[in-house]
């Protein structure tokens, strides 16, 4: 276990069974939080992360909560209440998302609607329905993306969702500031996760090209992002709100 600085806190991490979300769930649990992590379909991945957290001395619960359809936030919080006995929440990490989209010429209306439903609409209503159960002094962290500031026309709709999420962050920070709740965005760059495995791992050229984008000269790890989220979730981050933290390793500067 870690410093126990989040002892007694409840944290919700959407998409907490894989990739960046898995690392965030582990780090918040190591800091003492009871973590409720969501998964869409892969119950085994959710179970495995819970077991790993418990083996490391932490507390975690996995709940199924697919996003992208009307009523998804309501169903998520109903599952949360059932799993926790109606516990209030202190930390919300909106991490779940669709990671890519088509370029403008290939984009369909259905594809556009899907990526916005998961990446934008779901976080909006997850937070809306959390407001009565979110403790004063709480934390909201939205996982954005470096493509919100770096032009990548080949995934234009995805980038647009992350720009919308950053705007949501800014407005929420103003709305919730009176309650001592901080709201921030974290923008990862290229991270070595299962989502990126098909084009990144095992492709030396793609790996080297991705590493070269970063001022630090390497591809990011999920833990690089998780540690930033942990800072924002802790009392150390109490005076940071409405901010977008670049977690790209200085990519495309």
SS (H, E, C) the chain: CCCCCCCCCEEEECCCCCHHHHHHHHHHHHCCCEEEEEECCCHHHHHHHHHHHHHCCCEEEEEECCCCCCCHHHHHHHHHHHHHCCCCEEEEEECCCCCCCCCCCCCCHHHHHHHHHHHHHHHHHHHHHHCCCEEEEEEEEEECCHHHCCCCHHHHHHHHHHHHHHHHHHHHHHHHHHHCCEEEEEEECCECCHHHCCCCCCCHHHHHHHHHHCCCCCCECHHHHHHHHHHHHCHHHCCCCCCEEEECCCCCC
Q: What is the pLDDT of residues 29-76, one digit of tens each?
A: 999 999 999 999 999 999 999 999 999 999 999 999 999 999 999 999
The pTM of the full predicted model, rounded to 2 decimals, is: 0.96
Q: Rounded CA gap, 83 and 127, in Å?
A: 19
Please answer whether residues 192 and 201 qualify as being in contact, where contact means their C-beta atoms are separated by less than 8 angstroms.
yes
Please answer whether residues 20 and 95 qualify as being in contact, where contact means their C-beta atoms are separated by less than 8 angstroms.
yes
Please answer whether residues 51 and 247 qualify as being in contact, where contact means their C-beta atoms are separated by less than 8 angstroms.
no
Query: From the candidates 116, 125, 158, 168, which is the catalytic residue?
Result: 158
Q: What is the pLDDT of residues 185-213, one digit of tens each?
A: 999 999 998 877 777 888 899 999 999 99
Q: What is the pLDDT of residues 231-246, one digit of tens each?
A: 999 999 999 999 999 9
First to last CA, the chain: 36
Domains within the chain, CATH numbers bracketed: 10-247 (3.40.50.720)
CB atoms inside a 10 Å sphere around CB 43:
13
Q: What is the pLDDT of residues 79-114, one digit of tens each?
A: 999 999 999 999 999 999 998 788 999 999 999 999
**Cα angle, residue 125 at apex, residues 190 and 139 outer, rounded to 5°:** 65
By residue count, the chain amounts to 253
pLDDT at 194: 80
pLDDT band at 3 (very low <50, low <70, confident <90, very high): low
Active site residue 39: no
């Amino acid at each position: 276990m870690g410093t126990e600085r989040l002892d007694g806190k409840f944290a919700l991490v959407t998409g907490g069974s894989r990739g960046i979300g898995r690392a965030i769930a582990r780090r918040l649990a190591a800091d003492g939080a009871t973590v409720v992590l969501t998964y869409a379909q892969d119950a085994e991945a959710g179970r495995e992360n819970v077991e790993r957290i418990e083996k490391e001395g932490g507390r975690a619960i996995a709940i199924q909560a697919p996003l992208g359809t009307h009523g998804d936030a309501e169903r998520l919080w109903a599952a949360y209440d059932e799993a926790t006995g109606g516990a209030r929440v202190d930390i919300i990490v909106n991490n779940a998302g669709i990671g890519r989209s088509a370029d403008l010429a290939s984009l369909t209306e259905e594809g556009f609607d899907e990526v916005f439903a998961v990446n934008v609409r779901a976080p909006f209503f997850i937070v809306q329905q959390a407001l009565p159960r979110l403790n004063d002094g709480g934390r909201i962290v939205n996982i954005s993306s470096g493509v919100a500031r770096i032009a990548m026309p080949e995934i234009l709709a995805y980038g647009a969702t992350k720009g919308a999420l950053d705007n949501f962050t800014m407005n929420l920070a103003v709305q919730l500031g009176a309650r001592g709740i901080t709201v921030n965005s974290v923008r990862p760059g290229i991270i070595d996760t299962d989502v990126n495995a098909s084009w990144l791992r095992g492709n030396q050229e793609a790996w080297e090209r991705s590493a070269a984008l970063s001022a630090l000269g390497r591809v990011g790890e999920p833990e690089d992002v998780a540690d930033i989220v942990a800072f924002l979730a802790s009392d150390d981050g109490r005076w940071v709100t409405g901010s977008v933290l670049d977690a790209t390793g200085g990519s495309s500067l």
